[in-house]
Chain A
């Protein structure tokens, strides 16, 4: 580690990783022989892929025939299941039924608060929906006023990335979960400072 590593703490170019519990970490990451990454305290970690926090209206999903949907092909859904089992083993997989989509539920422990979330895949293979499974409202009081958290969709779901940043060929539910962990880490910082600390992730571990 060098001056570049020090500067990386302050620039948006430093790769970020997420632990199996959902905590974002930066330093002391080593690449293993099998292509994975390890943190000396937290154990296996997953690189957070490039993304930018957004907001606005979440893209609607057209009604689809679930019996003919892409996830009925085992090889297509299995890579999501495998990636989630490796990166976030504490999450539970809920297989799709007639009126539901493949979904994972679990808890992200940011180190400054725990958040139950759900990650729901979409029939159009677009950016998964990230839903907070809690009655708490994401925001903060400012005197008598309630300030909604930045980077939420109008429907209250977490806007973890631009829809165009999602590549259904490469990314998996684990990618979206890592983005959600990054979003929640930034949110806990915003709750303290009222300043969203980061635009996203610009660099990924090679």
Chain B
């Protein structure tokens, strides 16, 4: 049996150590490694969009973020901060991929990812599983190692929601990028912003997928109020008790082994 936690730790630690020792300068000029490293993040089902073209899908939008990381840029050496962010975010990319999601892009010190169904419940479960695994791996594997290196520990948090989003390629023929628009993506970002360190916050559409909602407690700032034209609507969001699912995550990760959730069916 593989050890996903150990692999996460090894990936982050090795990457960070390699970069601190200057090996990355060599890697940058190596054609073979360079080819691998230039692969852009994105969703394979939407890579072929032409400029201005769009396609919609249901998706669990995920934001996995390093909390209070900006403060490190004030206190710590720039290169060390960048190397650490790079190593941990690369670890997050690996976790999301391992749980069957698609890393869609880096947003500063956070990762934006999407899990597209498939079975909506399985998709939501795997997305929450990826977030729980990432937070736990940082706590259990990365921070003790950072402590040994006399480097301040890092903190992480996550926000998620489910709903319809639209992938659209914007820009000019030479310079374009695929953007993901929709309430689920926006609200997942909001959930991530209200989460404290070591919290996972989920929007109500994601939570409503599940028949069992014991692990979700309405967030103290929930609901979010939306007003327009004298109409008022509310949208709830929930703290997720993510440590409950930790015992099943290593084997779930091992079984998924990078198979996109849209190809996973639960009988």
Chain A residues in contact with chain B, CB under 8 A? 1-7, 9-12, 14, 26-28, 185-186, 189, 192-195, 197-199
Contacts and interface: CB of A to CB of B under 8 A. Distances in A.
B256 A197 contact: no
B129 interface: yes
B36 interface: no
B247 A11 contact: no
Contacts of A185: 214
A174 B129 CA distance: 34
B90 interface: no
Contacts of B238: 193
B24 interface: no
B68 interface: no
Contacts, number: 81
A15 to B, nearest CB: 12
9 contacts: A1-B248, A3-B256, A6-B249, A7-B125, A9-B245, A10-B128, A10-B212, A193-B218, A199-B211
Contacts of B215: 9
A189 B214 contact: yes
Contacts of B252: 1-3, 5-6
A3 B212 contact: no
A183 to B, nearest CB: 13
A96 B210 CA distance: 43
A52 to B, nearest CB: 12
Given A9-B245, A10-B124, A199-B211, A3 B218 contact: no
A11 B251 contact: no
B126 interface: yes
A185 B126 CA distance: 25
A7 B218 contact: no
Given A5-B251, A6-B248, A7-B119, 12 more contacts: A1-B252, A2-B251, A3-B125, A6-B249, A9-B215, A10-B211, A11-B211, A12-B211, A14-B212, A28-B247, A185-B214, A193-B218
Interface string B66-89: 000000000000000000000000
B46 interface: no
Interface of B: 119, 121-122, 124-126, 128-129, 209-218, 238, 244-245, 247-249, 251-252, 255-256, 264, 266
A7 B256 CA distance: 12
Contact of B213 (A2, A28, A195): A195
A6 B212 contact: no
B248 A198 contact: no
Nearest to B259: A3
Nearest to A200: B211
A198 B211 contact: yes
Contacts of A12: 211-212
A10 B125 contact: yes
A11 B210 contact: yes
Nearest to B245: A9
B218 A9 contact: no
A197 B208 CA distance: 10
Contacts of A9: 125, 212, 215, 244-245, 248
B121 to A, nearest CB: 6
Contact of A10 (B210, B217, B256): B210
Contacts of A199: 211
Contact of A4 (B216, B218, B266): B266
B121 A7 contact: yes
- Identify the 6 closest CB pairs spanning chains A and B, nearest first: A12-B211, A10-B210, A6-B252, A5-B248, A1-B248, A197-B213
B245 A193 contact: no
Contacts of A7: 119, 121-122, 125, 266
Contacts of B266: 3-4, 7
A72 to B, nearest CB: 42
Contacts of A11: 121, 210-212
Nearest to B206: A10
A61 B163 CA distance: 49
Contacts of A193: 213, 216-218, 238
A28 B244 CA distance: 11
Contacts of A192: 217-218
B199 to A, nearest CB: 16
Contacts of A14: 212
Contact of A198 (B212, B244, B256): B212
